[in-house]
Amino acid sequence: MQLNVTQKDDFFILQVDGRMDAANSVQFENECMALFENGMRCAVVDLGKVEYISSAGLRSILVLAKKLRSEHGEIRFCELHGMVEEVFTISGFNSMFAIYDSCDAALAKRA
């Protein structure tokens, strides 16, 4: 898994590439917590290049979301496709989080 980070306005854009599973979900958490410690309060997580997400990956997302919300931040998701979109639906994440078709749409929406 690779995590590419860019920033636009108040949002950190986290583009995840690869698998989010037990083997690398801790890496995702650690990298996100480092960003949080460096001021990240609003994030758009782009899952367009994620081919697989397990319960460990979902747990890592929940850890990040909880941390952001504790500081009155927010998390948005974009580019969900195939299996990742299905897992978000089955797990109920699609009703817990804002999900957009594209990164631009996620950034354009004002809370």
CATH number for the domain including 49? 3.30.750.24
The stretch 8-23 carries a mean pLDDT of 94
The stretch 54-62 carries a mean pLDDT of 96
Task: Please report the pLDDT score of residue 110 as a whole number.
Answer: 65
The stretch 82-107 carries a mean pLDDT of 96
Task: Please report the pLDDT score of residue 9 as a whole number.
Answer: 87
Host domain of residue 66: 2-108
Q: What is the mean pLDDT of the chain?
A: 94
Look up the pTM and report it.
0.94
Task: Please report the pLDDT score of residue 111 as a whole number.
Answer: 53
Q: Which single residue is written with the structure tokens 């009155």?
A: 72
Distances (CA, A) of 57 to 7, 31, 76: 23, 13, 16
CA nearest neighbour of 58 among 33, 27, 21, 23: 21
The stretch 83-103 carries a mean pLDDT of 96
Query: 61-89: per-residue pLDDT in tens?
Result: 999 999 999 999 999 999 999 999 999 99
Tokens of 29: 């958490």
- Strand intervals (E) in the chain: 2-8, 11-20, 42-53, 74-78, 98-100
Query: For the purposes of burial, counting CB atoms within 10 Å of the CB of 53, is it exposed (0-12), middle (13-18) or buried (19 or more)?
Result: buried
Domain count, the chain: 1
